[in-house]
Amino acid sequence: MAGEYLATKKILVAGSSGLIGTALVASLQGDGHEVCRLVRRPIKEANEVRWDPSSKLLDGGVLEGFDAIIHLGGEGIGDKRWSKSRKEKIRLSRVISSTLLSEQIARLESKPEVFVLANAIGWYGSRGGEELTEGSKIGAGFLSEVCSEWENSAKAVEDSGVRTIYLRSGIVLSSSGGVLAKMLLPFKLGIGGKMGSGKQWMSWISLDDEVGAITHLMDTKSCNGAFNLTAPEPVTNREFAKTLGRTLKRPTILPLPGFMLRILFGSRAISLMIEGQKVLPDRLQESGYIFNHSTLAEALKDLLG
């Protein structure tokens, strides 16, 4: 991976307890960086800083002296039914926390060199087989609106002159969490298969590359703005199911049963899984990032042994 790498950094990470955050913190610490966690619960360790976004409580002084601040937090999208109150919680958990953090950073006397904000390819909406890059127009619907507000919430920090990175992440593959972990049981039992028509596109990225790309973008001073964090070879859901079946040496003849989909993903997440996006990481590759897993087959082989 190419980049204008800096010396050991002091890095603050919000959302450090999630799938991506846990792996990222471990990787950064392994690289010798000093990592602090921004947490909402009472502080338990010396490397933690407390905040309460819902009450808009954050002592800006604790943000002084960090070289990089990374915000990965947000309420889960696909784990519960989208009631009106749930949709508002999804939106506010992202927008309020990001706005609070960015406004406090903008006021700092000693600002970080870079601010990294998580987002998702939901920004593009459901677009079928249309090839989507960072230059594509925003989509329509609730998720697109949330993702747009999410990025706009960093306006204060960007306007203050801090280099700002927006991570538009695809489906992050890990055997220990996320979509892939939920799919493993039925596939191992031999009842896994495509979802719906199977024609919908799945823009995926391995957890290793998600972490690698975040680190690369943080370290490369010429990088700013939005980047698609997806592998260069998206696949259809049918292809995904066949490749997973071959990796596990299990049949994938029949569609994944509806009852199993509801158990694994919930009613709202099913609709998300049968909508498609074909998203390409143009700017990420142009920046010099080299993927550890460019194809789904090699990613699954590495993840599942």
Concatenating the DSSP letter of every residue in 66-87 gives: -SEEEE-----SSSS---HHHH
Structure tokens at 192: 């896994």
DSSP H stretches of helix in 31-161: 84-107, 142-152, 155-159
The position carrying tokens 């055997």 is 175
Structure tokens at 17: 């307890």
Q: Are 211 and 189 in contact (CB under 8 A)?
A: no
pLDDT 10s digit of each residue in the chain, 305 long? 444 445 789 999 999 999 999 999 999 999 999 999 999 999 999 999 999 998 889 998 999 999 999 999 776 565 555 566 667 777 777 889 999 999 999 999 999 999 999 999 999 998 889 999 999 999 998 889 889 999 999 999 999 999 999 999 999 999 999 889 989 999 999 989 998 889 999 999 999 999 999 999 999 999 999 999 999 999 999 999 999 999 999 999 888 766 676 666 665 555 556 678 999 999 999 999 999 999 999 999 999 97
Domains and CATH numbers, the chain: 10-173+203-230+279-291 (3.40.50.720)
- The residue among 208, 197, 227, 207 whose CA lies nearest residue 288 is 227
- The residue among 287, 131, 274 whose CA lies nearest residue 220 is 287
Query: What pTM does this model have?
Result: 0.92
